[in-house]
Structure 1
Amino acid sequence: MSIETKTLPAMHLAYVRHTGPYGSPGIAQQWASFGEWATAQGLMTPRRRMLGISLDNPMTTPPAQCRYDLCIEVDSDFKPEGGIALQDFPGGRYACVPFKGTALAIGPAWMQVFAQWLPQSGLRPTGQPAFEFYDTDFEFDAQTGVFNCELCVPV
């Protein structure tokens, strides 16, 4: 597993919250809707960084209650409308592993990060939420469902 420690910048984020099982088709559908909204707002050109923030531990939180924020970087003067809210991402030091696969494969990849790599790394998580980081090189294949991101754990 190729993991890199990175310092990510603070970001101002527009987001919508999904509540339900991580890795469910509902999250993929919500990402599609969120992407359409972001495109309509002119946020996808130039492409902005996006985050999928997992707010709960799926090992201790019932799947139906797991919260996941779908986020896109916005300027500080951005005014949200409808069901869109704002939050500030503090930035900081993160252990990040590249991921390329489908929504069904991301859960096992997260398990590998937390169950295998992190305990052996000597690093300690800070207790802040882990997230998927979709940088400006993000790609999605609509035919296969394969996408790329980085799985990031605050350390």
Structure 2
Amino acid sequence: MFSVEEVPEFKVAYMRRVGPYGAGNQEQMERLKGWAAASGLLRDGSVVLGIAQDDPGVVAPEDCRYDVCLVVPRDTGIGGAGIEEAWLPGGRYAVRTVAHTAEALARAWAGLLPALADAGFRFDSARPMIERFAPRMVENHLCEICVPVT
């Protein structure tokens, strides 16, 4: 169900979208990939991340923030309209592979924290939960949910 991975700190270029989670997130991902391709940063092994910053059960859907990120080398200069840079903290993550469909992701997120607890993990709320889209996974219509744990 989960594997455990030690993830290093890494730099990302990102775009933030505010609004209900869903189809708009995919559109934002395509915009980021377009910028990355035009900037020479989108490569065969590029990893794209999605980070939901808010719990839609607590925050109104129109106020939910979703960051679409591209992992970039440490020395990469970031520039462009709407493109920001950030460092994501490393640490221990529980990783679950899921089908890359809206329905499968929704099901996985819905039962995620209880499943973690059942597997003996404790959620670390100081770090973000991440949807990871690595090329080898996306080619097989899969993605990974990475949850920070202690």
For normalisation by structure 2, the TM-score amounts to 0.88
Measure, in 1, the Cα distance between the counterparts of 2:135 and 2:122.
28
Alpha carbons of structure 1 residues 41 and 32: separation in structure 2 relative to 1, 3 Å: same
For normalisation by structure 1, the TM-score amounts to 0.86
Deviating 4+ runs (over 4 angstroms): none
Alpha carbons of structure 1 residues 43 and 100: separation in structure 2 relative to 1, 3 Å: same
How many equivalent residue pairs? Answer: 147
Question: In 2, are the aligned partners of 1:14 and 1:84 still within 8 Å (CA)?
Answer: yes
Measure, in 1, the Cα distance between the counterparts of 2:12 and 2:82.
14
Tell me what 2:20 maps to. 21
Percent sequence identity is 34
Measure, in 1, the Cα distance between the counterparts of 2:119 and 2:30.
35
RMSD: 1.7
Question: In 2, are the aligned partners of 1:14 and 1:85 still within 8 Å (CA)?
Answer: yes
Q: 1:136 deviation in Å?
A: 4.0
Tell me what 1:85 maps to. 84
Tell me what 2:144 maps to. 150
Structural mapping, 1:111-126, within 5 Å:
111-114=110-113, 116-126=114-124
Question: Where in structure 1 are there 5+ consecutive unaligned residues?
Answer: 141-145
Question: In 1, are the aligned partners of 2:131 and 2:143 still within 8 Å (CA)?
Answer: yes
Q: Secondary structure at the match of 2:20?
A: coil
Alpha carbons of structure 1 residues 19 and 147: separation in structure 2 relative to 1, 3 Å: farther
Measure, in 1, the Cα distance between the counterparts of 2:61 and 2:71.
27
Q: Secondary structure at the match of 2:107?
A: helix
Tell me what 1:33 maps to. 31
Measure, in 2, the Cα distance between the counterparts of 1:89 and 1:136.
20
